[in-house]
């Protein structure tokens, strides 16, 4: 069974670069929290500074990715402090 197609709210097509940007409907944003608070996740090479640290995503529009990340982090850090929060609204900081 295939996934249902998301509802397209806005669409912009750049015919010179052959790119299409779409704003899709989403139920929520799922975020992984550590000890009930948001956090940043950084990855780097232990042997060298090249290419430098990478900051990884901790919030997703797909719940499966968030649950997989929380499960993986709980396993590698031997804890149960990573959990998934469903975010459906919030405070608007800037309308620009």
Give residue-wise pLDDT tens across range 11-45.
999 999 999 999 999 999 999 999 999 999 999 98
Q: What percent of the chain has pLDDT over 70?
A: 99
The reported pLDDT for the residue numbered 46 is: 86
The dihedral built from the CA positions of residue 33, 77, 70 and 22, taken in this order, carries a sign that is: positive
Considering only residues 77 and 49, tell me which one the structure prediction assigns the higher pLDDT: 77
List phi, psi (to 5°) of 23.
-100, 115
**d(C-alpha 83, C-alpha 77), whole Å:** 13
User: Which residues, in sequence order, are CB contacts of 70 under 8 Å at separation 6+?
Assistant: 32, 82, 83, 84
HSE-CB of 59 using CA atoms within 13 angstroms? 11
**d(C-alpha 89, C-alpha 29), whole Å:** 9
pLDDT of 1 over the 80 cut = no
The reported pLDDT for the residue numbered 87 is: 96
pLDDT of 74 over the 90 cut = yes
Q: How confident is the model at residue 92 (pLDDT cuts 50, 70, 90)?
A: confident
The reported pLDDT for the residue numbered 82 is: 98
């Amino acid at each position: 069974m295939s996934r249902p197609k998301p509802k397209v709210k806005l669409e912009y097509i750049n015919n010179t670069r052959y790119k299409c940007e779409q704003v899709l409907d989403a139920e929520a944003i799922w975020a992984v929290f550590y000890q009930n608070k948001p956090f940043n996740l950084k990855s780097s090479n232990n042997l060298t500074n090249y290419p430098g640290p990478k900051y990884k995503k901790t919030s997703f529009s797909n719940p499966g990715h968030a649950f997989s990340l929380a499960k993986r982090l709980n396993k590698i850090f031997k804890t149960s402090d990573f959990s998934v929060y469903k975010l459906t609204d919030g405070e608007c900081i800037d309308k620009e």
